[in-house]
Structure 1
Amino acid sequence: MLQSEIYSIGVDIGTSTTEVIISRLKIKNILSSSLIKETVIEGKEIIYKSPVIVTPLLDEVTIDFNGIKDIVSRALKESNIDKNQISTGAVIITGETARKENAEEVSKNLSEYLGDFVVATAGPKLESLLAGYGSGASEMSKNLSRRVVNLDIGGGTTNVSVFNCGECEQTFALDTGGRLIKFNDEGEIIYLSKRIEFLVKKMGLNLKLGRRAELHELEIICKKLSKCLLEVCCLEELSEDTKRLFISEGFELFEVDYIGFSGGVGEYVREVNKNISLEEIRKHNDIGPLLGNHISREFEDYKNIILSPKERIRATVIGAGNHSLNISGSTIAFEKSILPLKNIPIIKPFEKEENLNEIYIKASPKLDLYNESMVAISLKGPKSPSYEDIKLIGREIIKFFEKVIGPIIVILENDFAKALGQVISLNLREKREVICIDKISTKNGDYIDIGLPIGEAIPVVIKTLIYNS
């Protein structure tokens, strides 16, 4: 019988702060329009939110894993949820923390501590997407039938997601955040990010380690970073300085209808206080409050299109706990004995138009990009495939996987996974595990985690893994 409720955890280990949420997800079987039984997530309820806690570090380049584990253990204890009850979720390492020397190790160890299907992820594209979900930007875009841009501004980075009518069009990230400059209680600079050193030098600012930070110089750098955000919202022409701040590639110009701000610095993007003092800035011993103040000023002329987010500082962790999971089922084929699987690279033979006769030809060269023993192949597939179509796809996939060690893993966007899985299994020369899932959309460069079955459905997380970039 289908489990009607599962628990999900989200852990966001950010440049400045770490947060944990625990959610209850309601799973339900429904009959689709084609009268096929389908498994869906019917409801999501956050049952626990941790306090916002300063991210524990051993030094400037090392995350304190024991400190992070203590935060998570305390959250489980306070929520009265045993970690064995956690069925899914995501550990997200964001911003400059993802560049720490032990980021990958911490993420992997924490996900293993939490259970078989809590995934370890990092990378600005996924962070941007989850923040856009958690802030409510996706939902507002869908409800308004308009393009909504969400800027999630944290300690080290700004993660941007662009939603049009609820669908994510693009994501990107910049080195812009509240802890790019940090001071001690005496106002002396104790940290200056290398990511903005070129701006400091170009603008002739005397911001140096050990030197007392002058308010007027901090104002200049915050104004510049704020203007960069105007540019990435396509409200001003993109400058060469802003281009140098991009972490991820693939930015495309767009027309914006509405803008939302989330993240720790997003808490300060509100009413303009033109007389902000150095004492107010020193509240967190960084430039976060001042940067938020300047963003408010730079976007003053566009205040009529600024939306209030559902969540600000907790947007990413809520996205991780509530929106990282997909459900594939019930018309799927899978071999339970080899699940769960984690971090399987996805090969997508076609970016746009698909030619079923060329699946093997287009997919094979992409194998050279991966040294892993397992890969998954991803296709959109025809909406209503004939039996001949399914046999053709099956032959092409079998031919491709002759070069691959491990199970045959196929991801379809359209709904015919069970039929394709059966055709593949019947036409194999020797026994091999087959996993064929549908209703999942992917891109090249993505990875997939496939969890233990929930009734007749399978939980899936699509992610991008990037560390120390």
Structure 2
Amino acid sequence: MSAGIDIGTSTTKLIISRFSLMNTAGTTHVPRIEIVDKEILYKSPVFRTPLKDYSTIDVEGIEEIIRSQYELAGILPSQIETGAVIITGETATKRNASEMLHHLSSEAGDFLVATAGPDLEGIIAAKGSGAYESSGKSGKVIANIDIGGGTANIAVYKDKQLLGTCTMHIGGRLIEFNNGRVSSISPPVKRLLESYDISLEAGEPINETAVQFTTEFMAGSLARILNRQARPEDEVLLLGHLPNWQEDVDTIVFSGGISECMYRHEAEHEQVAHYDDIGIRLANSLMNNEMLKAFQWQEPIETVRATVLGAGTQTTEISGATIQVASHELPLKNVPIYQYSFHHDLQEGLNRLDEAIQHAIALYDSTEEGQNFALYISELPYMGFKDIQALAKAIIQMMESRPDPDQPIILCVQTDHAKVIGQTLTAMNVRQSIICIDQIDVETGDYIDIGKSLDSGVVPVVVKTLTFHSA
């Protein structure tokens, strides 16, 4: 059972799913457990995200929404074995965002991930909107642009391979109105207008010229980013890095609340009250922008629900069946990854291993507070029994140099060596707990969550980014 909860700038929604697992390898092969079916059991209505004030999330309000929806779905939190609480857009800048997420991830079920990385938001939305699947069928470069109340999260795919990401301050609630007057303007939009000597202040009557300039600039800036032709004036709308894909985009897919203004997928469903903001104006500017019209447009499978569907059904991977885990240590959350390649040369790799471990410690535990990490071992050569013993012995020695050497030794192995390495470490009477998994693709800078062992002997794993950005 999986749950996805998306707490966005404008809206909050939830889905409950059921996964089916199956051994997809033949009877004479090493078992490979995969998710073979995903069934959505319940979709919540779309709720307005409750806030106490501009900088504080109403945690009790969020909890009440989740509690009521679990009850309507006939689901207990204890039944949820995996899933994601994703906080998106401007909501991730609220001062109690991190506190709320980690509280919810334990209160709402055995969640593996509670995250706010803008790049991950884009990736998850692309999977929920259908852009990811479509990239595998069309052979084209497809950019999914998920635009909600506060941000536009771009993820570019080709053949189901992520080519790059970018996040922008583009969203429906970056200017809000109340009774014909401006009630709020986000800091990035404020800086944009000031750079063009355009006046728009909270409390003033709506200046349609300024609003139109803002939405048209957003549309033009997005088009330039998609074409990798960013100008200096576009930087005010960037949240983080410039676009990092290298191929030209062929097709664009819009998801999120703004795409709902374009496609009206939810028109027949009971929805929250109309939002007094620039959302509809922004949707019109995007649809009328000539540079954006030059791309091929593809309608999404989901609009406002793309992120929550991706969070509930697409974040979980399954480890290999050839693993060795100390079940009492699970679940583990927010474990940083350090990738180390042997380049198919065991002895040379062992010679460099101590230096790599020291670098991992410097990267993740420079203050020696005991932050553990997972060592991802890749490109191992063919190994005999003595080679496995030599590798295990080196790992034990190197892990003793950690500031807190009693922490579990967490290993991710690219190939199907996890069980034999884990058993060898155990046979050497290593005093630490051993978590040794395989068939998970990660790299330095990723974080993983490892869930409790399932009946099939595997563990669910979530690979993620973990970033809270500031306003």
Q: Same fold (TM over 0.5)?
A: yes
> C-alpha deviations, 1:306-360, integer Å up to 9, x for none?
1111111111111110011111021111111111111112222459999623233
Q: Partner residue of 1:240? A: 232
Cα distance change of structure 1 residues 36 and 120 upon mapping to structure 2, 3 Å threshold:
same
Secondary structure at 2:325 match in 1: coil
Q: Partner residue of 1:231? A: 224
> C-alpha deviations, 1:8-64, integer Å up to 9, x for none?
000000001001011111111232597111211110011111111100001111101
Structure 1: gaps spanning 5 or more residues: 1-6, 272-281
Q: Is the 8 A contact 1:145 1:166 kept in 2?
A: no
Cα distance change of structure 1 residues 130 and 32 upon mapping to structure 2, 3 Å threshold:
farther
Cα distance change of structure 1 residues 71 and 205 upon mapping to structure 2, 3 Å threshold:
same
Give how far 1:143 is off: 1.2
CA distance in 2, matches of 1:319, 1:383: 36
Q: Which moved more, 1:162-171 or 1:46-55?
A: 162-171
Q: Is the 8 A contact 2:112 2:333 kept in 1?
A: no
Equivalences for 1:205-216 in 2 at 5 Å? 205-216=198-209
CA distance in 2, matches of 1:167, 1:296: 27
Q: Is the 8 A contact 1:149 1:163 kept in 2?
A: yes
Give how far 1:384 is off: 5.2
CA distance in 1, matches of 2:339, 2:99: 28
Secondary structure at 1:211 match in 2: coil
Give how far 1:379 is off: 2.6
Equivalences for 1:142-161 in 2 at 5 Å? 142-161=136-155
Give how far 1:118 is off: 4.2
Q: Partner residue of 1:447? A: 447
Give aligned pairs, total. Answer: 450
Q: Is the 8 A contact 1:348 1:363 kept in 2?
A: no
Percent same amino acid at aligned positions? 36
Match for residue 356 of structure 1 among 304, 328, 349: 349
TM-score (normalizing by structure 2)? 0.90
Cα distance change of structure 1 residues 221 and 418 upon mapping to structure 2, 3 Å threshold:
same
Give how far 1:182 is off: 0.5
CA distance in 2, matches of 1:128, 1:454: 29
Q: Which moved more, 1:459-468 or 1:172-181?
A: 459-468
| Residue 64 (str. 1) matches residue 55 (str. 2) | no
Q: Partner residue of 1:74? A: 68
Secondary structure at 1:343 match in 2: strand
Structure 2: gaps spanning 5 or more residues: 265-272
Q: Which moved more, 1:110-119 or 1:431-440?
A: 110-119
Give how far 1:389 is off: 5.2
Give how far 1:81 is off: 1.5
Q: Partner residue of 1:296? A: 287
CA distance in 2, matches of 1:318, 1:353: 39
Secondary structure at 1:31 match in 2: coil
CA distance in 2, matches of 1:341, 1:82: 22
Q: Partner residue of 1:398? A: 396
CA distance in 2, matches of 1:135, 1:350: 35
Q: Is the 8 A contact 2:175 2:184 kept in 1?
A: yes
> C-alpha deviations, 1:74-112, integer Å up to 9, x for none?
111111112211111011111110110100111011111
Q: Which moved more, 1:299-308 or 1:219-228?
A: 299-308
Match for residue 184 of structure 2 among 167, 188, 191: 191
CA distance in 2, matches of 1:450, 1:226: 40
Equivalences for 1:348-387 in 2 at 5 Å? 348-349=339-340, 356-357=349-350, 358-371=352-365, 372-382=370-380, 385-387=383-385
Q: Which moved more, 1:456-465 or 1:411-420?
A: 411-420
CA distance in 1, matches of 2:111, 2:143: 31
Q: Partner residue of 2:121? A: 127
Q: Which moved more, 1:50-59 or 1:236-245?
A: 236-245
CA distance in 1, matches of 2:109, 2:398: 33
CA distance in 1, matches of 2:233, 2:26: 50
Q: Partner residue of 1:408? A: 409
Equivalences for 1:41-190 in 2 at 5 Å? 41-184=35-178, 186-190=179-183
Secondary structure at 2:95 match in 1: coil
- Which letter maps to 1:457? V
CA distance in 2, matches of 1:244, 1:218: 17
Q: Is the 8 A contact 1:383 1:415 kept in 2?
A: no
Give how far 1:416 is off: 1.9
- The root-mean-square deviation of aligned C-alpha atoms, in Å, is 2.3
Q: Is the 8 A contact 1:24 1:44 kept in 2?
A: yes
Q: Which moved more, 1:217-226 or 1:398-407?
A: 398-407
CA distance in 2, matches of 1:194, 1:200: 10
TM-score (normalizing by structure 1)? 0.90
CA distance in 2, matches of 1:144, 1:351: 36
- Which letter maps to 2:75? I
Q: Is the 8 A contact 1:148 1:257 kept in 2?
A: yes
Q: Is the 8 A contact 1:350 1:362 kept in 2?
A: no
Q: Partner residue of 1:221? A: 214
Give how far 1:240 is off: 1.1
CA distance in 2, matches of 1:333, 1:25: 23
CA distance in 1, matches of 2:238, 2:177: 25
CA distance in 2, matches of 1:156, 1:246: 12
